[in-house]
Amino acid sequence: MKTKSIETDPKKFKIAVVGAGSWGTAIADLLACKGYPVSLWAFEKEVKDHIQKFHENKIFLPNHKLSPNISASNELAEVISDKNLVVVVVPSHVMRNVAKKMSGHLSSDDIILISASKGIEQKTHLTMSGVISENLPIVQEGRLAVISGPSFAKEVAQKIPTSVTVACKNPEIAALVQHLFATPYFRVYSSDDIIGVELGGSVKNVIAIAAGILDGLGLGLNTRAALITRGMTEIRRLGLNLGANPRTFTGLAGFGDLVLTCTGNLSRNYTVGIKLGRGKKLEEILAGMHMVAEGVKTAKSVYNFSRKLGVGMPICHEVYRILYEDLTPKEAVHRLMTRTLKQELDEE
């Protein structure tokens, strides 16, 4: 697919970031630090006011001074109109509503849109690119990309070396986005496997809850290693069923993101799991959080979707039962360890 030349001079190329949580703010700052003027949509008035007045997102990315090239607003239409590139970074459960509100305000069918959100919609079982495609038909398939990989927002904001993957059906757009985002501390690889990259980034959050549960129970490193490995088996099974490239799951959006989220104490999903393992109730845990742990909702999506498809995902199913059916973590571990013995490798 041949793409006409796109001018990416920071003086002329206009960027919007939709969503001012920690990851959206970090992405906006990364691009703004490269000289691009970035319009950032914040849902909360308080977040917008803090960014405009103090150049800091005190709620979601505190103690980090943001580039003066960022301009925050609560007006979505104002933020996304007349832009060359829009990055959407909102929680998966509000993606459909936000995309509907964006409809009619994007500049033209030349717009490049990137999803940096991770999740699977509960009713439709669509990944975020699917939700966007349904609600924003103006965005051409070859100009819709996704970005994912092992990337805690706080570390990206601190310019700690990080590597991620951008996927797009059009290799020229993938390369363009790759170069737009790349810095000496933020390395970007390209791919054409959108569904694989999205599934890796979504389902790993469910496995991360499981990893936290194991640590909350005080279990060992052997257990964690087995959990991560078998968790990737489940992610890969679902991916292959949906047409993903199996090699994607050995990369940054697969094992890379899974290892980070299952071992890093900056992971919200891992933290939820630790508290569950220590005996806290889900409602109590979520009430004390102001940021979204995507794995909680994704667990329900994966449970229902995998059963519909007939894909075996026992770890994800046990996480679902802990979250929604009050199964105790200890009983879930026992159930997993005493299942019928099997061959390790799936048939291809």
DSSP for 252-316 reads: IIIIIHHHHHHH-TT-HHHHHHHHHHTT--HHHHHHT-SS--HHHHHHHHHHHHHHHHT---HHH
Candidates 170, 118, 165; CA nearest to 140 is 170
Q: How many helices (H) and strands (E) does the chain have?
A: 15, 8
DSSP three-state, residue 103: coil
- Give the pair of three-digit tokens for residue 40: 């950032």
Q: For residue 62, give both structure tokens.
A: 């505190």
Please report the beta strands in the chain, taking only residues with DSSP state E, as ranges in sequence order.
15-18, 38-41, 70-73, 85-88, 112-115, 144-148, 162-168, 186-191
DSSP-assigned beta bridge partners for residue 166: 147, 190
Beta bridge partners of 38: 15, 70
**DSSP-derived pairing of the beta strands 144-148 and 162-168:** antiparallel
33: which 2 tokens?
């630090």
Tokens describing residue 280: 């806290």
Helix (H, G, I), strand (E, B) or coil at 46: helix
Q: Which residues are catalytic?
A: 204
Q: Nearest CA to 268 among 198, 200, 208? A: 208
